Amino acid sequence: MKILVTGGAGYIGSHTVKMLGRKRHEILTVDNLSTGHREAVLFGGFEKGDIRDRAFLDRVFPAFRPEALIHFAASAVVPESVENPLLYWENNISGTVTLLQAAVRHQVRMAVFSSSAAVYGEPERVPITEDHPQRPANPYGMTKLVGEQILADCDQAYGLKSVSLRYFNAAGVDPEGELGEDREVETHLIPVVLKAAARVKSGKAAGPEHSRGGGAVVRIFGSDYPTPDGTCVRDYIHVNDLAQAHILALEWLSRERRSEVFNLGNGRGYSVRQVVEAARRVTGVRIPSRDEPRRPGDPAELVAGSEKIQKVLGWKAVIPELEKIIATSWGYFSKTAG
Ligand code: NAD
Ligand code: UDP
């Protein structure tokens, strides 16, 4: 299949492009490299450009003539969205609208969209099933919910069929060691913890205030949540298990030709403290941590009910165990960070 992948130079996108390439799909990655890396695109073509740039898209779409779109490109950091919501509306909503206008103009028939568990906000019940009320707790989550709605409207009006995948917390890296998780400013828990472990291991202990996500002390944001140990609970899913779901979604869309929304998680929640402890076990490093105030926009507990995607798409995690997920990342961060 000919697939145009936006954001294919990013963390999840690059892992998915590798998996698609291995399956011999024809791929074109479109990415503005705002957070992605050209060298992470291991298969297919690459066009540097912005999904908000109509002229660029009108050059790229007719030249490649994709049948399908996988849309990863977005701004994707919850606290940043609280500080700068207009950036999120601009990139995630204007970007998605401009991209879908091009997709419709150029007769793309199906799309897979990176949605997020952030669409649910503070859950009323866990595990969260797809029919749970959607009340995002931050602007990032709201842009993902609106993205889903735009796609639902595009199906109704233009017959563009789509699968929205509500990822829970993506984690881990390519077990073959060809890809990583490399952001200029790191805010995600597992990379932050492993970068801290690498710094301790290398003897370069610096305070978190100098860190840009690379300090030797892990800051635990909030220890007064209504969870068993007071810290936030999340459902971590290996990036390759996420990638595999995109392939299953495209195969399903080609067969079924209807739109759907699926959760994508392992159905097991781990607290921030449990993640830090698991990382200590995996790395053998006594990673220091410190309790800090809550981070704005964080729901207490997000755990997926993933029965729907297992039943409908036949998806099953290959690496569901938290320690194994962390171990794949440690293989990367123990070499690159520190
Ligand atoms: P990432 O920042 O590594 O990847 C995003 C990619 O999109 C980058 O390569 C970036 O350069 C590109 N991009 C951003 N804006 C663009 C634009 N206007 N035009 C062209 N390219 C642009 O992030 P990621 O963690 O790989 O996330 C990928 C997608 O998955 C995002 O849509 C994100 O919201 C979603 N998601 C991620 C997680 C997670 O845990 N990482 C969870 C839920 C949803
Ligand atoms: N977190 C933390 N310290 C950090 C980074 C994250 O305590 O340095 C917490 C954060 O508050 C959230 C959880 O870890 O409760 C997961 O955060 P992350 O940014 O990895 O993903 P999110 O759930 O926001 O998408």
Annotated active-site residue in 11, 120, 140, 332: 140
pLDDT in tens, 64-78: 999 999 999 999 999
**5 CA distance to ligand 1 middle (Å):** 11
- Please give the C-alpha separations between residue 57 and each of 31, 142, 231, in angstroms, as whole numbers: 11, 25, 43
**186 CA distance to ligand 2 middle (Å):** 11
Q: Which ligand is nearest to the CA of 184?
A: 1
pLDDT in tens, 259-282: 999 999 999 999 999 999 999 999
Helix segments in 77-236, DSSP class H: 78-83, 85-88, 95-105, 139-158, 189-202
Beta carbons within 8 Å of 83's beta carbon, 6+ residues apart: none
CB 160 within 8 A of CB 69: no
pTM assigned to the model: 0.96
- What residue owns the CA closest to ligand 2's atom 14? 189
- Determine if ligand 1 sits within 6 Å of the CB of residue 46: no
- Determine if ligand 1 sits within 6 Å of the CB of residue 140: no
pLDDT in tens, 126-165: 999 999 999 999 999 999 999 999 999 999 999 999 999 9
Report d(CA 63, CA 72) in Å as an integer.
21
Counting atoms of ligand 2 from 1, which one is nearest the CA of 117? Answer: 25
**188 CA distance to ligand 2 middle (Å):** 6
pLDDT in tens, 112-125: 999 999 999 999 99
For the chain, the average pLDDT equals 95
- Please give the C-alpha separations between residue 323 and each of 71, 134, 149, 171, 213, in angstroms, as whole numbers: 29, 30, 36, 11, 21
Asked if 140 is an active-site residue, the reply is yes
